[in-house]
Amino acid sequence: MTSMETQTEPAELAAFRAEARAWLTDNAQPRAAGSKDYKRRMAVSSERREDEHDQLEQTKAVQRRIYEAGFAGLSVPEEYGGRGLTTAHELIWRQESSAFALDTGKLIIGLGMAVPTIMGHGTEWQKQRFVAPALRGEEMWCQLFSEPGAGSDLAGLTTTAVRDGDEWVVNGQKVWNSSAHLADWGILIARTDWDVPKHRGLSFFLVDMATPGVEARPLRQITGVAHFNETFLTDARIPADNLLGGVNNGWGVAQTTLANERAAIGNVGSGIGFDDWIELARHYGRLDDPGIRDRLVGLYVRLQLLRWLGQRAQASMRAGKGPGPESSVAKLFGSNHIALNGDLAMAIEGADAMLYAADAFEDGFWQQLFLDQWNSRIGGGTEQVQRNIIGERILGLPTEARPDKTEPFRDIPRNA
């Protein structure tokens, strides 16, 4: 933060910034000045299950410390475990804590998606039951949205939930569920009415991942890491109290989750900077290559645009606004940025791009950067989905003629 910005910051926020900075200085390690440690960690191509559980326990312990210090759920009302401050305070915490090694990334679905969704649509019991444990780092969440036959067209999902007394019986399959094999709880969308248009027959549930009939199976990715899962639900019984937002209102509830997800993915700070790209090109003797130099200039421009998009999001937070369809702009731009970066890394390395792990420059970090790009580009909605959202909700363009939006879902042709 510049000295000019500090001078213009309201006294209350300046005092909070000083409080956060003091606690971080006394209780956390500054992030390493360089990016070598980040590259080493990101180049890892396999994980042992024991290591994953150990890392998760460490993450939960870090979140607990943050909570006990009063810096978790800053804008969440005090009665639900937060501090009752504003989104401007949240922004200041993000700015200050980014300079310190406080890894809570595995809890992002709970903290960044489940909590705001529950706060926006939950019953009093749901807020009391679920928000504070997430803020304390006691419970990890996963997202059970996508399906093998309904990825980009999420509203076309066929996982079913049927009411049976005080429970809902759920059957179906989900996929691309980040860390579902480690999660305590999941946010789930299922179909509760087949006789209305597809967006109107969905309901949103909070699922205990230890429920009989819920099985998460890790999927080995192209990078070698099993981060995603496919999750099978077989006669899984969910208490009726765990329905969030009412029957058949799931699509509207999910928009809160998805907007927060896109905002998180659109903020694509990768842990490396422009200097790292210059060093890569220098290592391979490509700094004098006109084509590479032109692409490096494009990279620099994109980094500045991402910074400005981030400032726009910060201004929206200071104004007390949540993420809206504008988050799709950041998500789409971030996806294009990641794709171009992967291609540029491979172009700079040339034939060496075929090497891997310890045989490659910087332990194969740049190969991992290329291979892992589809994680962020597809997650949170593909480029095509984001363009539709921007066109329809921001630019006001007419929607395409789509009978599947108006006809009963039961009558719409689907993949077998």
C-beta neighbour count of 258 within 10 angstroms: 24
- State residue 133's pLDDT score: 98
Domain 3-103 sits in CATH at: 1.10.540
Q: List the structure tokens of 79.
A: 């009665």
- Residue 261 appears among annotated catalytic residues: yes
Of the candidate ranges 139-148, 159-168, 366-375, the one whose mean pLDDT is the lowest: 366-375
Cα gap 193→200, rounded to integer Å? 8
Q: List the structure tokens of 390.
A: 């921007």
Mean pLDDT of the chain: 88
Burial class of residue 72 (count of CB atoms within 10 Å of its CB; 0-12, 13-18, 19+):
buried
Instruction: Please write the tens of the pLDDT for every residue from 288-319.
Output: 999 999 999 999 999 999 888 877 776 776 67
Which residues share a beta bridge with 16? none
Catalytic one of 96, 147, 230, 261: 261
- State residue 4's pLDDT score: 37
Q: Which uninterrupted H or E stretch holds 47?
A: none
User: Do the domains spanning 3-103 and 143-248 agree at the CATH topology level?
Assistant: no
Considering the four listed CATH numbers 3.10.580.10, 3.20.20.70, 2.40.110.10, 3.90.180.10, the one that applies to the domain covering 143-248 is 2.40.110.10
Q: List the structure tokens of 409.
A: 């879902």
Cα distance between the two ends of the chain: 55
- State residue 123's pLDDT score: 98
- Residues 165-188 have a mean pLDDT of 96
- Residues 164, 168, 169, 172, CA torsion sign: positive
HEC profile for 291-312?
A: HHHHHHHHHHHHHHHHHHHHHH
Residue 197: what are its φ and ψ, rounded to 5°?
-55, 150
Q: What angle do CA 245, 186, 200 make, to 5 degrees?
A: 35
- Residues 83-89 have a mean pLDDT of 92
Going by C-beta distance under 8 Å and a sequence separation of 6 or more, which residues neighbour residue 99?
24, 30, 31
Q: Evaluate whether 257 touches 141 at the Cβ level (below 8 Å).
A: no
Q: Evaluate whether 165 touches 177 at the Cβ level (below 8 Å).
A: no
Domain boundaries, the chain: 3-103, 143-248, 267-381
Amino acid residing at 42:
M
Q: Evaluate whether 369 touches 39 at the Cβ level (below 8 Å).
A: no
The class of domain 267-381 in CATH terms is mainly alpha
At residue 69 the predicted structure's pLDDT band, cuts being 50, 70 and 90, is very high
38 versus 219: the higher-pLDDT residue is 219
